[in-house]
Amino acid sequence: MAGKDDEDTCYVCKSSRYLNPEMRFLINTECYHKMCSNCVDRIFSYGPGPCPYPGCDKILRKNKFKEQLFDDIGVEKEVDCRARVMKVYNKTEQDFDSLEEYNAYLEEIEDLVFSLVNGVNVSEVEAKLEAQRAVKTEPRQPKKDIGGVPATPFTPFNGDRGANTLIALSDSLHDPLNEKLIDQKEFSASGYVPQVYYRRALFEAFMGICCFIDAEKTRPIETT
Ligand SMILES: [Zn+2]
Ligand SMILES: [Zn+2]
């Protein structure tokens, strides 16, 4: 059970969890070499220092150590790298003029994550992340439409704010109650117009109905 011993023994101080059940193991995001929390405290409490693993030249800081979340250290590393990249590469589809540009952006993210995980061209990747960080502080450009869909809030007419134009009021429409109101000073003084009332009543009555928008647009509603 050599693997089990490795898991429960600190490589640096050789302490075993068998003797000290409270023992916690920590990893760092530089080289992912595992050591116990006592070693981290002892070696890095007074400032950054080199990793105690032979042949590892990484300079480590105490505040960069953390508990391992995944059993597989490869998965742990990929999740960390992805989180680092996504923190600055955080645009959404709406920030792009076309789907092709957005897909190219997503592909670039995958390439950067791959490079970081595998230690390929790391300085180049760091430079790109730094450049993105600088871009992020500039004021955001107004969002652009994709595929001709208007950038308006949702309405039952698929963002069509001109939905009122779907209704054509007929001159022959008569409503005795409204016609009586327009003769009263308290209504006419406020600028009350029956047509506005009709239009609004029709719009509110029909806006929630599941209708075929294209068909409705070509056939104005008769109000006789
Ligand atoms: Zn230790
Ligand atoms: Zn190391």
Q: Determine the Cα angle at 128 with ends 32 and 140, to 5°.
A: 120
Predicted confidence (pLDDT) at residue 219 exceeds the cutoff of 70: no
Task: State the pLDDT at residue 45.
Answer: 94
Write out pLDDT tens, residues 183-204: 888 777 777 777 778 878 877 7
pLDDT of residue 2: 44
Smallest-distance ligand from the CA of 53: 2
Quote the ligand 2 centre to 111 CA distance (angstroms).
24
34 Cα to the center of ligand 2, angstroms: 8
pLDDT-based confidence at 132, cuts 50/70/90?
Answer: confident
Q: What percent of the chain has pLDDT over 70?
A: 75
Residue 51 has pLDDT above 60, yes or no: yes
Q: Name the closest ligand to CA 73.
A: 2
pLDDT score of 82 more than 90? yes
pLDDT for 191 equals 76
What are the tens digits of pLDDT across the range 17-34? Answer: 888 889 999 999 999 999
Residue 166's pLDDT is 58
Q: How far apart are CA 133 and CA 88, in angstroms?
A: 6
DSSP assignment of 13-30, as one string?
T--BTTT-TT--EEEETT
CA of 24 to the centre of ligand 1 (A): 9
Residue ranges and CATH numbers for the domains of the chain are 1-68 (3.30.40.10), 69-148 (no CATH), 163-218 (no CATH)
Complex confidence, ipTM: 0.94
| Rounded Cα distance, 58 and 119, in Å | 13
Q: Residue 14 — very low, low, confident or very high, per pLDDT cuts 50/70/90?
A: very high
81 CA distance to ligand 1 centroid (A)? 26
Q: What is the mean pLDDT of residues 69-90?
A: 91
Q: Which ligand is nearest to the CA of 31?
A: 2
Interatomic CA distance for residues 109 and 30, integer angstroms:
20
Q: Give the pLDDT confidence score for residue 162 in this predicted structure.
A: 54
